[in-house]
Structure 1
Amino acid sequence: MKKRVLLGMAALFLSVFLAVAQEIPAGVVPAFKKGSSQELNKYMGDKVNLILLGSSTNVDKQKATAMMQEFFAENKVSGFNVNHQGKRDDSSFIIGTLMTTKGNFRVNCFLKRVDNQYLIHQIRIDKTNE
């Protein structure tokens, strides 16, 4: 009986985890791991709020891609770890650590649902003190 309860709870936990994980498009994390602005472009909304090292700007998708390409060129990416992710109503987010040749950066990536898909509407990148 205990095994059934534990298996049931594990299955429930796994299904809830997978449902939350699906709110983040599968290609977003690999795009950060590669430092690929072109891959991120596929998941951006028409307008993106970019906050790069304290400088905030609202730009269209094309300009956001160019700015992220410039950031990745200046900070060669060696990895990306997801520290936390979640979902609330019609929005979701990822918080992670971007490892580069110039140090680590905290990345907050916020997505909102538009026409049954989640698109990036804000990327915030700040230098960490680690």
Structure 2
Amino acid sequence: MKKRVLLGMTALLLSISLLMAQEVPEGVITAFKRGSSKELSKYMGDKVNLVFQGRSTNLAKQKAAAMMQDFFTENKVNGFTVNHQGKRDESSFIVGTLATSKGKFRVNCFLKKMKDQYLIHQIRIEKINE
């Protein structure tokens, strides 16, 4: 009986912690999987910091979406795998691998909570040398 209760409580705590950690909207992950800047822009804040291969640029939402479209056009997306995701206080993040026609890229996407929703404030994309 004690084992059942302990097992049940462990499962409940694990479920709660997993739900709490998933503050990244599923649409962000779907947008990367599809290579859709239009879908990704729905989750962008008014200003977005884009970092491509170590070069950082702060852009308005529309320009950031246009740069992401250029990236997706140049690098046809074959898939996206989430390697890690988490949250802390009013921010969350995902780290994933973007498979494209021109190789694999490590993607770090950082979000901040604004007006009861999480919005992207930084996207970092770096080529993985294999």
TM (norm. structure 2) is: 0.96
**Structure 2: runs of 5 or more not aligned:** none
1:106 deviates by: 0.2
Match of 1:74 in 2: 74
- Aligned pairs for 1:35-50 (under 5 A) are 35-50=35-50
* Per-residue CA distance 1:93-127 (angstroms, 9 max, x = gap): 00000000100000000000111110000000000
Written as runs of structure 1 = structure 2, the 5 A alignment for 1:47-66 is 47-66=47-66
For residues 69 and 19 of structure 1, the distance between their equivalents in structure 2, rounded to whole angstroms, comes to: 31
1:120 corresponding residue in structure 2: 120
Q: Secondary structure at the match of 1:24?
A: coil
TM-aligned CA deviation for residue 54 of structure 1: 2.0
Once residues 38 and 113 of structure 1 are traced to their aligned partners in structure 2, the CA distance between those partners, rounded to angstroms, is 21
Counterpart position of 2:5? 4
Q: Distance in 1 between matches of 2:77 and 2:70?
A: 12
Q: How far does residue 48 in structure 1 lie from its aligned partner after superposition?
A: 0.1
1:94 partner letter: I
Say how many residue pairs are matched. Answer: 129
TM-score under structure 1 length normalisation = 0.96
Q: Give the Cα separation in 1 of the matches to 2:28 and 2:60.
A: 18
| Superposition RMSD in Å | 0.8
Identity of aligned residues (%): 65
What residue is the counterpart of 1:87 in the other structure? 87
Q: What residue is the counterpart of 2:28 in the other structure?
A: 28
Superposition misfits of 4+ residues, deviation over 4 angstroms: none
